[in-house]
A = this chain, B = another copy of it.
């Protein structure tokens, strides 16, 4: 479970009955139906030769928390059955943990009782629940015009040049491209890299960037539950994520204070920062600028190339080859997951921030200490 007021718990396994999510604390009256969620889940499946051949129909069922097309305010559960399952491969390799996967650690932690098929709860498939919850979260954010856009900025050595704008055409640019990279020129080069990696039986890493527009000043709960802290926690729990940076991030290690600081200025009567090197967050609190961060994803660990591992029965070194169905670059499929998770964290902090707002005028009206 994550979250304080908007609390999200995902469940399910790659090759079990299905995957899903439970949301506690969702406000009532939010329009929600299975069709809308299904459309959001579609985004996890870029299609094309570049992605996993697993063809889930991903028909979400709302099990509770929605009545006549609106959320009820009660616990909300969305469940997606697994259908297109072929577990034969996993039986074969169950004693030879795949390098880069959680097979080995899960076996040790869960004393061998874990559902090892397809990675079980460590599979990327579990992110279906995140995307479903994110669909709900986005509806709530839209009440405050807060919008989240995630997209690919880097695959292998190739970096895209992207100027994010807060409109639907930018979102279409992202999702019309199978790589979820709105710089279509660079996306072509990335696609070439991906095809080459596929031919070689290999996979590639990548970076997903996220920008959030219209976040009010004041979201975040320092000193220990800052907005960046909670975003970092969420992002690092996405399978394959190995790092996160806000604003200029790791570049700041090579910069001077005079270059890095975002100066305050007035624009159209509003106080804004002249630059956004900090990614819209100061001291764990949103500062009114767009929130920007980047999450790095390792290359898909399952590859056709032979890899060394240990047979846990014989405790001997053996060679395995990936034969399951996998994307050549998990960063691409992570795009909607990053976007959804961001929305989830933002709704939780939005609600926490809203909790104080009705008090403001009453408190400011307390003239003297009584």
Q: Which residue of chain B has its CB nearest to the CB of A77?
A: B11
Q: Which residue in B11, B74, B260, B370 is a CB contact (below 8 Å) of A22?
A: B11
- What are 23 of the A-B contact pairs (CB < 8 Å)? A1-B9, A5-B352, A10-B224, A11-B65, A16-B63, A29-B363, A30-B363, A67-B113, A67-B120, A73-B113, A74-B114, A105-B286, A105-B287, A109-B218, A156-B254, A197-B256, A197-B257, A226-B236, A226-B237, A236-B244, A242-B279, A266-B317, A354-B359
B-contacting residues, A284-314, CB 8 Å: 284-287, 296-303, 305, 307-310, 312
Given A22-B22, A99-B262, A243-B246, A28:B114 Cβ within 8 A: yes
B253 and A297 contacting across the interface, CB-CB below 8 Å: yes
B363 and A27 contacting across the interface, CB-CB below 8 Å: yes
Given A72-B115, A222-B122, A104:B282 Cβ within 8 A: yes
By CB atoms of chain B within 10 A, which of A17, A109, A352 has the most?
A109
Q: A13-B67, A74-B120, A101-B283 are in contact. List 6 more A-B contacts (CB 8 A).
A: A9-B22, A12-B63, A99-B263, A109-B353, A243-B244, A261-B307
What residues of B have a CB within 8 angstroms of the CB of A102 in the complex? 222, 282-285
Q: Which residue of chain B has its CB nearest to the CB of A117?
A: B67
B205 and A13 contacting across the interface, CB-CB below 8 Å: no
What residues of B have a CB within 8 angstroms of the CB of A58 in the complex? none
A230 at the interface (CB under 8 A from B): yes
Given A9-B9, A242-B278, A253-B206, A71:B113 Cβ within 8 A: yes
Q: Which residue of chain B has its CB nearest to the CB of A328?
A: B257
What residues of B have a CB within 8 angstroms of the CB of A305 in the complex? 257-258
A12 and B283 contacting across the interface, CB-CB below 8 Å: no
Q: Which residue of chain B has its CB nearest to the CB of A298?
A: B252
Q: Which residue in B110, B287, B301 is a CB contact (below 8 Å) of A73?
A: B110
B-contacting residues, A20-34, CB 8 Å: 20, 22, 24-25, 27-33
B64 and A9 contacting across the interface, CB-CB below 8 Å: no
By CB atoms of chain B within 10 A, which of A24, A226, A260 has the most?
A260
Q: Which residue of chain B has its CB nearest to the CB of A158?
A: B254
B222 and A121 contacting across the interface, CB-CB below 8 Å: yes
A299 and B74 contacting across the interface, CB-CB below 8 Å: no
B-contacting residues, A88-120, CB 8 Å: 97, 99-102, 104-106, 108-111, 113-115, 119-120
What residues of B have a CB within 8 angstroms of the CB of A202 in the complex? 256-258
CA distance in complex: A101, B231 (Å): 20
Q: What is the minimal beta-carbon distance from A342 to any residue of chain B, in angstroms?
A: 14
